[in-house]
Amino acid sequence: MSEETTVEAQAETTEPTTDQVTPTTEATDVDWKAQARKWEARAKANKADAEDAQRWREFQETQKSEQERMNDELARVKAEAEAAKLELMRIQVAAQKGITGDAIKLLKASSIEELQAEAELLVSLMATSNKPTQPQPDASQGRPAPATAGQVTREQLDKMSPQEIMKAKAEGRLAELLGQ
């Protein structure tokens, strides 16, 4: 009976917490400072919870028996050994197929058969991409560019007479020197 009265008394004395949102008459009537304080308090509580969880994991680690620690270490070492074995297989298959350098990184399979299939595909792709192509002749090679063909140089201009200069200007051979 006394438990019932204390529960009822507590229910009557409880007040709304800051987590509860009180209804307002307008949807735009929001106390932004109160909301910011509420979310800041939640963030601090979450940070404290994360720190507590980390301390709990550390405590559990200290409570493990020597056998459990050895089992964990064994599992970690086995995983490292498996990764090293896979890398060795990758390098061996690449060496057999003649794959070198960064191309080895393209082999991603996890079994020897899959690695060999990938390596054969990679070799065939590399062979087709490494074929030398016939160079195309360049018709303009060795000839002056059309824009400068027949243009008078500064040295030639210094040696020309005024009549020759006027003739070259009329023919458009001074365009480059005049900046046209």
pLDDT computed for residue 75 by the predictor: 95
> What is the pLDDT at residue 3?
47
SS3 81: helix
Tens of pLDDT, residue by residue over 17-53, are 545 555 544 545 678 888 888 899 988 888 888 998 9
Of 152, 156, 148, nearest to 170 by C-alpha is: 152
Q: Sign of torsion, CA 79 85 86 87?
A: positive
| Distance in angstroms (rounded) separating the CA atoms of residues 35 and 40 | 9
Q: How far apart are CA 75 and CA 79, in angstroms?
A: 6
> Token digits for 115?
């690695």
Amino acid at residue number 98: G
pLDDT for the residue 25:
47
> Residue 98 gets which letter from DSSP?
T
Residue 172 has pLDDT above 90, yes or no: no
Other CB atoms within 10 A of residue 176 CB: 15
pLDDT tens for 119-151 read: 999 888 888 776 777 777 777 676 655 555 678
pLDDT of residue 148: 59
Measured between its terminal Cα atoms, the distance across the chain in Å is: 109
pLDDT in tens, 56-80: 988 887 877 778 888 889 999 999 9
What predicted TM-score, i.e. pTM, was given to this entire model? 0.38
The CA distance from 73 to 106, in Å, is 31
| Cα–Cα distance measured from residue 111 to residue 44, given in angstroms and rounded to the nearest whole number | 48
What is the spatial distance between Cα 174 and Cα 169, in angstroms, rounded to a whole number? 5
